[in-house]
């Protein structure tokens, strides 16, 4: 009887060790994936901030040539202020917050488009070396934004897939790991913008 009791105790200890090891590994993987999503979110915010930092220089360069376009400059400056005021904590990345962030950034993109239309009216400005460099940096930044948003969506997908698979979903619920939202195209983005000169 004693031998049987030790065997049962040994089996229980082994099962508990296996459960502990599985829980620990799953939890740590979820933390790593969540931190990956948070890091990618920081990278997205970083490139958006880079764009916001370029805008005052771009506006000032254009102002020197197009002094009577004050309404456009005001729109760009206001849109920049709004876009930089919307900050989201990486721990609170839900669909509503990301949509709010995207709308603020879309407002800035629209204002920049209007600024570029103004630029078309001034051939001397289009030949200005400072303007050309700023425009190239802005184009590069827009590409970086697209890349970082894609990387963020990939990190969110990896995280979401991991926490939703069985039996990981049980641990995710136990430890409050919630699904992360994705960047999605804004409604109306499928239509090409209309530019009039």
Considering 106-115, 121-130, 184-193, the range whose residues carry the highest mean pLDDT is 106-115
Span 66-71, average pLDDT: 70
8 Å CB contact between 125 and 65: yes
Residue with tokens 């099962």: 15
Closest CA to 181 of 142, 146, 149: 149
Per DSSP, helices labelled H in the chain are: 2-65, 70-85, 95-120, 123-127, 129-164, 168-174
pLDDT at 187: 65
> How does pLDDT run across 19-67, given as a tens digit for each residue?
888 888 899 999 999 999 999 999 999 998 888 888 888 888 877 777 6
* Phi then psi dihedrals of residue 91, to 5 deg: -75, -10
Half-sphere exposure of 190 (CA within 13 A, CB side): 2
- Please name which of 56, 75, 54 lies closest in space to residue 118, comparing C-alpha atoms: 75
Q: Which domains does the chain have, with CATH numbers?
A: 34-174 (1.20.1440.20)
Tokens of 163: 């926490």
pTM: 0.74
- Residue 152 tokens, joined: 């963020």
Cα(160)–Cα(174) distance, rounded to whole angstroms? 15
135 contacts: CB under 8 Å, gap ≥ 6: 58
Query: CA angle, 134 as apex, 129 and 136 as ends, to 5°?
Result: 95
Residues 146-176 pLDDT 10s: 999 999 999 999 999 999 999 899 989 989 9
pLDDT band for position 1 (50/70/90)?
Answer: low
Please check whether residue 44 is in contact with residue 145, taking contact to mean a CB–CB distance below 8 angstroms: yes
28-40 burial: b if 16+ Cβ within 10 Å, else e = eebeebbebbbeb
């Amino acid at each position: 009887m004693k031998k049987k009791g030790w065997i049962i105790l040994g089996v229980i200890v082994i099962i508990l060790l296996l459960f502990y090891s599985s829980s620990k590994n799953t939890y740590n993987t979820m933390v790593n994936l969540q931190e990956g999503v948070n890091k990618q979110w920081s990278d997205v915010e970083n490139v958006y901030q880079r764009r916001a930092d370029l805008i005052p220089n771009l506006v000032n360069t254009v102002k020197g040539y197009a002094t009577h376009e004050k309404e456009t400059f005001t729109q760009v400056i206001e849109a920049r202020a709004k876009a930089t005021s919307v900050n989201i904590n990486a721990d609170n990345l839900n669909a509503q917050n990301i949509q709010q962030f995207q709308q603020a950034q879309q407002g800035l993109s629209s204002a920049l488009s209007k600024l570029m239309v103004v630029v078309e009216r001034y051939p001397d400005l289009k030949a200005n070396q400072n303007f050309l460099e700023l425009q190239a940096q802005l184009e590069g930044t827009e590409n970086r934004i697209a890349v970082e948003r894609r990387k963020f969506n990939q990190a969110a997908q990896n995280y979401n897939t991991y926490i939703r698979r069985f039996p990981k979903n049980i641990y995710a619920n136990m430890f409050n790991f919630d699904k992360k939202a994705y960047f999605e195209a804004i409604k109306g983005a499928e239509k090409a913008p209309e530019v009039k000169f």
